Structure 1
Amino acid sequence: MPSKGVQVFAYIAVPDCKIELSVPGETVTFSEQRKFWSRSLEVESSKIRSLLDKRGRFTFKIFHKGTQLTEQWIDVNALTGNASGGTLEKISKTPSLVVRDRGLIISYGLYEAGKGHKASEIHVLPNKHQCYITISPDYASWIGRLAPVGSPAENKPFHRLVLPAAHDVGMNSMESTEALLKKVGGAIVSTLIGDRLPKQREAISQLANTLSKDAISKIAPNIVYSLAITQKDSLETMLRIGARYFEFRPARLHRAVISCGALPDKLYFQHGAIPGMAYDEFLKGVLAFLRANPTEIVVVQLRWDGVPDECARPSDKEKKEYLEKALKDPAGGNGEIVAGGLDDMKKKSIAQLRKDKKRLIMLDMVDSLSTYTDEGNATLNGDSMVQALPKVLTPENQKGKAFVNIQCQATASNIPKAVVHSIIEASVTNSLLLATKGICDSKMLPWCRDNVLQVCLLDILVVIMNDWIDGATAHVCFELSKQRLQK
């Protein structure tokens, strides 16, 4: 009988928690801690009583000490494969839940697979809906927990830590892009996406024979969401989840749209030519968090990878002015925080950085060792990324680098066929970048947990970066940091 699968990936890092999953005719529970768990459930038409309506509900519930904290659901059509309705219908409506009275955070998301697609018997995109769920501690002060003020651990070098990182932090909402599209129209999306990467330009070219420019214009917001949005939480929530390293690409709007007046003429995070979070708001938010959490330290690196020439980069003077203004803002610190640099990060202890008030480390295109490659990360199952890790993370490669950046996120948007399918079927639930979240995390994060201590040098900072930053990524970094501080 017809059915549609839902693949669930889960991770629990908090005691006394339980995840309950259900589809018509089946309920599954998971409560084991520190285990990367995966289970496939089927919404089967034979288990749905109605003869005409073959939609069955996929639901998950989270319990802590017997109390239900949340219930999320979506209806899955066993005949067509479509998923609709419910709390999981829009990615933007699934922010992480910060349960402050219990000190935990629930992160989750759903990718709607539709029917899936095949090419030469290999799935271009998943044919099962993908759901990930993590339950982790509220890590607003996790560095303080590991290295309390006055403790021996505080006197260890800062570079012993392993920092969780939110990949493309500035692409956490559609606010800037929607303002732009409203002013200039969706036709501009071809310019914004086409300037990103050669593989995406190739996909856009293929689409010219499939969709009219008017058709692309109408679904423009969904196209951008599918190919560019990599986070869905506020900056504060990402920091509470545990993120302590961010890469930010500040630049001005693309020349083709800068004069339209849709957005103020200032620096924005640029995903290619697609604008995201404003740079001044990012700095203000990070500093406000640091002021509220005096044991914490955040590293920010400015980069311009993939930003086209049509998006003007700031001068050194302008970068300095943005930072100085943020540091002087009463909401961001007002003298309580001083910006540190590369030498501070590499040579000082946690205690010294706190004493010097250098709890915001600012880097600018420093030489780091990254595991990311356009080819290796262009995957739908993560195998090529895992296979590359021991080849990249050799002692020789690490020597002389500012830090090591292990990137867990796949870049399916570099696969032309996947981009074409994603754009044609673009919707609010089928982000191409979310399609690989669960499967890649279930391989990359266990590898990091089991190997970072052996392969990464103790005298170099380690960053573990991910799309849709979550509690499993943060917890792996927390445990690795604890072990490295004990050495």
Structure 2
Amino acid sequence: MPSKGIDAYCYVGLPGAHVDFTVAGKNVIRRDCGNNFTASRLDMDWSNADWHGCGLYSWTVFGTDGKALTSREVTVNTLTGRMYGTSSLAPFNTPAIIQKDYCICYGYYVAGKGVLGLTNRHQSWVTVTPRRSNWMGELVPPGSCVETKSFSLFVLPGAHNAGMNTMDNFPAFMHMQTKPPVMTPTQARIAALSMRLCRRGIHNMAITQKESITAMLHIGTRMFDFRPAFLSGVSPSNARSIENVYATHVRIPGIDLATFLKELIDFLKDNPTEIVVLSLSSAGIRGCEQPKREALRRAVNRAFPESLRVGWGHALLSESVAELRASRIRVIVPDGATGYDAWSGKNHRAFTPDKIINNVFRSLNAERHAAVHITKLRCALTPTATGKGIVAHSAISDKSSSPLMEVKARSDLKTLKWIRDHALEHLKADTTITVTNDFIDGQTVEICVTLSDRRFGIPDPVP
């Protein structure tokens, strides 16, 4: 009998909340705070489908009072294997649900037949956590004794390639590329098809985040990996205006710097206890002019009002939280910082996280941690770098079939659990730790809040 599998992943960090997962004809699977880091195998069977071979898969989040907070349902076709909703299931169409007291992040991967190492089972993940707009202030209140401790004790939840959360600037990028020759109508149709495939492939390969910068901040993100460059194809003589700087993945543009800074500033104005670390790195950028460091520094400083200051240099990481707040430094750009980046090509370019844990995380040690200013723990796998076949598959697949989304929940299930349970056994110095992830979510943030709590020596976790 035809059927299609669904892997449902869940993390609940909101006390009293739970999530129900349901497929047609199956019992409800319930997940709550007492059973986190869970993966459930569900199957949509032909025998429980309608006469079209279709059935519903749904999840519902219930709050502490037992009332439903939100729910989503999609249709699964047991004959074709397709999964679809009333709107696209692509990352940009599944924004986090952020309310006063809670945050719900979720995502889908629509599976095909399972080729090139990709699964043939649909992937669905849900995280339910407290809203963390002010988690630093809640953990380390102004005027408290713990405020005199070093800022470096915070474990910072980070967004990998943070500015790659939009395709809005893709047309401008394509406009700057080599102009096509005069074409016949048939050639034009082929070119248009190629452009659609190009856009789809770039979406599935380069987009690493799905939330707005503002949403990431309210979820709890406090480290942003922003890689600034001018549009690919811009000549050096035309690459002088700092207003034309974009977050860049290889040579693909994401959000522009001005918009990024505006969202960051607006958030910091409304949340005076929070401090953000901003990494302005050129890692991975290819074929693009990059702004001069001094020009970039002037542009960033100019964007901030007098009430908010940007601090430059790694020494600020070791200042006390109280000192930073008193001096109005709300953003730290850790220029000159030495770091240990726990990303390893041979271990992260994979479809499962086992090598990350066994070969990278378990090799972490206190001596290496103490010798650097920042230790970067990366959860995200990079299946897009496993071979040319994945590149081609990304181009012909739907936008709801990003390889990065395919591996996300499966990786988080193991990497974040290991970080929560074992990271501080290996990293015992007082230097900065960041935990970065693709498609940043509440689960990543909660692990960092928990570890920050331990490092500051606070007896009770943030409620």
**TM-score with structure 1 length normalisation?**
0.86
Given candidates 316, 325, 334, the residue that maps to 2:293 is: 316
The worse-fitting range, judged by mean Cα deviation, of 448-457 and 281-290 is 281-290
2:16 aligns with 16
Q: For 1:376, what is the secondary structure of its paired residue?
A: helix
Q: How many angstroms does 1:454 deviate by? A: 1.1
> Over residues 349-374 of structure 1, what are the superposed CA-to-partner deviations in whole Å (9 max), with x where a residue is unaligned?
11111011112101236321111022
Structure 2, unpaired ranges of 5+: 182-189, 459-463
Q: Superposed, which structure 2 residues align to 1:386-465 within 5 Å?
A: 386-416=357-387, 419-420=390-391, 422-465=393-436
Residue 160 (structure 2) pairs with residue 167 (structure 1): yes
Q: Give the conservation status (yes or no) of the 8 Å contact 1:87–1:94.
A: no
1:467 aligns with 438
Q: For 2:355, what is the secondary structure of its paired residue?
A: helix
2:40 aligns with 39
Rounded Cα–Cα distance in structure 2 between residues aligned with 1:256 and 1:283: 23
Q: How many angstroms does 1:154 deviate by? A: 1.0
The worse-fitting range, judged by mean Cα deviation, of 237-246 and 390-399 is 390-399
Structure 1, unpaired ranges of 5+: 119-123, 189-211, 328-333
Given candidates 135, 138, 141, the residue that maps to 1:145 is: 138
1:353 aligns with 324
1:254 aligns with 232
> Over residues 218-272 of structure 1, what are the superposed CA-to-partner deviations in whole Å (9 max), with x where a residue is unaligned?
32221111001111111011011111011111111112699999x9961101100
Q: How many angstroms does 1:324 deviate by? A: 2.1
Percent identical residues = 30
Structure 1 residues 30 and 264, CA gap change in structure 2 (3 angstroms): same
Q: Superposed, which structure 2 residues align to 1:185-196 within 5 Å?
A: none
Q: How many angstroms does 1:417 deviate by? A: 5.0
Structure 1 residues 116 and 178, CA gap change in structure 2 (3 angstroms): farther
Rounded Cα–Cα distance in structure 2 between residues aligned with 1:341 and 1:278: 21
**1:161 partner amino acid:** F
Rounded Cα–Cα distance in structure 2 between residues aligned with 1:185 and 1:43: 48
Structure 1 residues 258 and 21, CA gap change in structure 2 (3 angstroms): farther
Structure 1 residues 399 and 267, CA gap change in structure 2 (3 angstroms): same
1:176 aligns with 169
Rounded Cα–Cα distance in structure 1 between residues aligned with 2:87 and 2:390: 26
Q: Give the conservation status (yes or no) of the 8 Å contact 1:88–1:109.
A: no
2:113 aligns with 115
Rounded Cα–Cα distance in structure 2 between residues aligned with 1:167 and 1:218: 26
Report the aligned-residue RMSD: 2.5
Rounded Cα–Cα distance in structure 2 between residues aligned with 1:446 and 1:80: 35
1:67 aligns with 67
Q: Give the conservation status (yes or no) of the 8 Å contact 2:301–2:309.
A: no
Residue 55 (structure 2) pairs with residue 56 (structure 1): yes
Rounded Cα–Cα distance in structure 1 between residues aligned with 2:194 and 2:15: 48
Q: How many angstroms does 1:182 deviate by? A: 7.1
Structure 1 residues 260 and 155, CA gap change in structure 2 (3 angstroms): closer
Q: How many angstroms does 1:147 deviate by? A: 0.4
> Over residues 151-198 of structure 1, what are the superposed CA-to-partner deviations in whole Å (9 max), with x where a residue is unaligned?
11111111111010011110111111144447869989xxxxxxxxxx
Q: For 2:356, what is the secondary structure of its paired residue?
A: helix
Residue 96 (structure 2) pairs with residue 96 (structure 1): yes
1:5 aligns with 5
The worse-fitting range, judged by mean Cα deviation, of 212-221 and 411-420 is 212-221
**1:47 partner amino acid:** N
Structure 1 residues 282 and 177, CA gap change in structure 2 (3 angstroms): same
2:185 aligns with none
> Over residues 130-168 of structure 1, what are the superposed CA-to-partner deviations in whole Å (9 max), with x where a residue is unaligned?
111000111000000100011111111111110100111
1:192 aligns with none
Q: How many angstroms does 1:391 deviate by? A: 4.7
Rounded Cα–Cα distance in structure 1 between residues aligned with 2:228 and 2:154: 26
Q: Give the conservation status (yes or no) of the 8 Å contact 1:23–1:56.
A: yes
**TM-score with structure 2 length normalisation?**
0.91
Aligned residue pairs: how many? 447
**1:138 partner amino acid:** R
Rounded Cα–Cα distance in structure 2 between residues aligned with 1:354 and 1:256: 40
Q: Give the conservation status (yes or no) of the 8 Å contact 1:252–1:265.
A: no
Q: How many angstroms does 1:457 deviate by? A: 2.5
Q: How many angstroms does 1:326 deviate by? A: 0.8
Rounded Cα–Cα distance in structure 1 between residues aligned with 2:294 and 2:242: 20
